[in-house]
């Protein structure tokens, strides 16, 4: 379900995602785990390269004031890739997954970035991931809070 607020259509957090055909959700949980591992490796590589570049450009002085780069890189990595034309991170695309809003539209940058933040907060409470076992559409709690659904990509 969506509602109109003058700025566009947004999914309502009070309504669940529509029921999808079984083939749209087949193997989504396993594919998401593999996609996550692939994405974490890419984010680590990007974070390290950025750290080295900043250290070289500032002759090592930035090492004293550099914030943790991993969360910053992960925020923009997820936000930019999921809100892009492929609607997936590189790991999700490799696993044939895509992310959409619950009404089927493309995910805006803020929803995608918020989804990443909610995911990393969820990792501090692993039992929260068990929600996907009882959810009708295999959605995790952070998916529900961000108003998104991850499905198989069909061309």
pLDDT digits (tens, 9 = 90+) for 61-99: 888 777 788 899 999 999 999 999 999 999 999 999 999
Residue 101 forms part of a structural domain:
yes
Residue 13 forms part of a structural domain:
no
Give me the residue label for tokens 């044939």.
96
* Cβ count near 145 (within 10 Å): 15
pTM over 0.85: no
For 44, the domain range is: 24-152
| Structural domains counted in the chain | 1
Q: Where are the alpha helices (DSSP H) in 9-123?
A: 22-25, 28-57, 69-82, 90-94, 109-122
Residue 65 forms part of a structural domain:
yes
Residue 16 forms part of a structural domain:
no
Residue 18 forms part of a structural domain:
no
91 alpha carbon, distance to own chain's centre:
10
20-31 residue pLDDT tens: 777 788 889 999
Residue 19 forms part of a structural domain:
no
């Amino acid at each position: 379900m969506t509602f109109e607020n003058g700025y566009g259509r947004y999914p309502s957090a009070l309504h669940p995602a529509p029921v999808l055909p079984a083939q749209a959700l087949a193997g989504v949980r396993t594919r998401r785990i593999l996609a996550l591992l692939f994405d974490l490796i890419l984010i680590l590589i990007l974070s390290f390269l950025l750290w080295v570049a900043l250290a070289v450009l500032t002759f090592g002085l930035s090492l004293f004031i550099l914030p943790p780069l991993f969360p910053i890189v992960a925020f923009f990595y997820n936000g930019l890739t999921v809100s892009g034309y492929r609607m997936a991170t590189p790991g999700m695309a490799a696993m044939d997954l895509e992310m959409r809003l619950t009404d089927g539209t493309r995910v805006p940058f803020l929803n995608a970035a918020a989804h990443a933040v909610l995911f990393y907060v969820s990792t501090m409470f692993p039992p929260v991931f068990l929600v996907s076992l009882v959810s009708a559409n295999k959605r995790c709690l952070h998916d529900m809070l961000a108003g998104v659904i991850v499905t198989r990509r069909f061309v």
